[in-house]
């Protein structure tokens, strides 16, 4: 996010809390929140992700990214009686994760649906199955710009670009990704500004995925627009896939 010591907000000259190297902006807390929520709203409008009659399930891990996603969607739908929200949490045996998910949902006055993990299903298939049972037709997933770029580069290196397709997901469920154009660090900062005592997942990732993440972090430090360029490349690949779902 960059060093913000003694820096002033580009918009109002209050103390900055973040420097966006890709945009050249320094932002105070208020303008940072406006900026992040504005980006998410643009993606939602562009993809028509919020529709009358939707019952949206937020995939809530208990961690910072999913807490940020729930916060955003509560703000966007608070005056809409035609859309309802619920939180979806898979209990994989981590007490802190479940406690975090239930606390975040409770603070937002959102129903939290919790169930034990079925190891015979993938995470997405598991969430989709329980969402359908609860009458949910939309699932909000906290995928961010870093996740997207890492998945795309990993697919190239492994030689398996087929993993970039979402065609395995149940067709009756619509998946939305409001944060997919927003860097991970900004989402974590947004979460910290709205929530205290957040749970941070310490699961070890596969070696290749970890290596790709480090590669992108180092390269982006020198070329701030890298993540966006990789994201656009991934979108072009997805559009060229047979029966690819956006």
- Distance, in Å, from the CA atom of 183 to the CA atom of 123, rounded to the nearest integer, reads 23
Q: What is the model's pLDDT at position 200?
A: 65
Q: What is the model's pLDDT at position 157?
A: 83
27 phi and psi, to 5 degrees?
-130, 140
pTM for the model: 0.86
Q: Can you give the C-alpha Rg of the chain in angstroms?
A: 18
Domain architecture of the chain: domains with CATH: 18-239 (3.40.50.620)
Q: What is the model's pLDDT at position 246?
A: 41
Q: Which of 146, 168, 165 is nearest to 155 (CA)?
A: 165
Alpha helices in 29-160 (DSSP H): 29-47, 64-77, 95-107, 123-133, 145-158
CA distances from 197 to 73, 104, 135, 194 (A): 20, 10, 31, 11
Q: What is the model's pLDDT at position 244?
A: 44
Contacts for 61 with CB less than 8 Å, ≥ 6 apart = 89, 97, 101, 142, 199, 201
Q: What is the model's pLDDT at position 236?
A: 82
| Encoded tokens for 32 | 């940072």
Using a 10 angstrom Cβ sphere, with 0-12 exposed, 13-18 middle and 19 or more buried, the burial of residue 41 is: middle
Sign of CA dihedral 122, 126, 132, 133: positive
Q: What is the model's pLDDT at position 171?
A: 59
Going residue by residue through the chain, which has 246 residues, state the pLDDT in tens, using 9 for 90 and above: 555 557 999 999 999 999 999 999 999 999 999 999 999 999 999 999 999 999 999 999 988 999 999 999 999 999 999 999 999 999 998 888 899 999 999 999 999 999 999 989 889 999 999 999 999 999 999 999 999 999 889 888 877 776 666 554 555 799 999 999 999 999 999 999 998 877 666 555 567 878 888 889 888 989 989 999 998 888 887 777 665 444
163 near 151, Cβ under 8 Å?
yes
Q: What is the model's pLDDT at position 9?
A: 97
Q: What is the model's pLDDT at position 48?
A: 96
């Amino acid at each position: 996010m960059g060093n913000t010591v003694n820096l002033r907000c580009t918009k109002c000259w209050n103390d900055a809390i973040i420097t966006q190297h890709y945009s050249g902006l320094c932002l105070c807390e208020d303008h940072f929140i406006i900026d992040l929520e504005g980006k998410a709203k643009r993606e939602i409008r562009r993809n028509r992700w919020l529709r009358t009659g939707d019952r949206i399930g937020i995939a809530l891990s208990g961690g910072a990214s999913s807490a940020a996603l729930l916060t955003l969607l509560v703000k966007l739908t608070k005056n809409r009686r035609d859309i309802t929200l619920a939180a979806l949490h898979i209990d994989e045996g981590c007490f802190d994760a479940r406690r975090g998910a239930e606390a975040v949902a409770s603070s937002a006055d959102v129903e939290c649906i919790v169930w034990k993990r079925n190891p015979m299903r993938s995470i997405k298939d598991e969430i989709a199955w329980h969402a359908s049972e609860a009458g949910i037709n939309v699932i909000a997933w906290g995928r961010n710009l870093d996740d997207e770029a890492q998945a795309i580069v990993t697919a190239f290196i492994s030689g398996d670009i087929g993993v970039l397709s979402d065609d395995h997901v149940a067709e009756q469920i619509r998946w939305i990704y409001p944060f997919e154009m927003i860097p991970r660090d900004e989402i974590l900062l947004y979460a910290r500004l709205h929530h205290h005592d957040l749970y941070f997942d310490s699961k070890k990732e596969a070696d290749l995925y970890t290596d790709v993440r480090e590669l992108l972090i180092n390269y982006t430090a020198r070329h701030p627009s890298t993540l966006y360029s990789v994201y656009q490349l991934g979108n072009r690949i997805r559009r060229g896939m047979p029966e690819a779902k956006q």
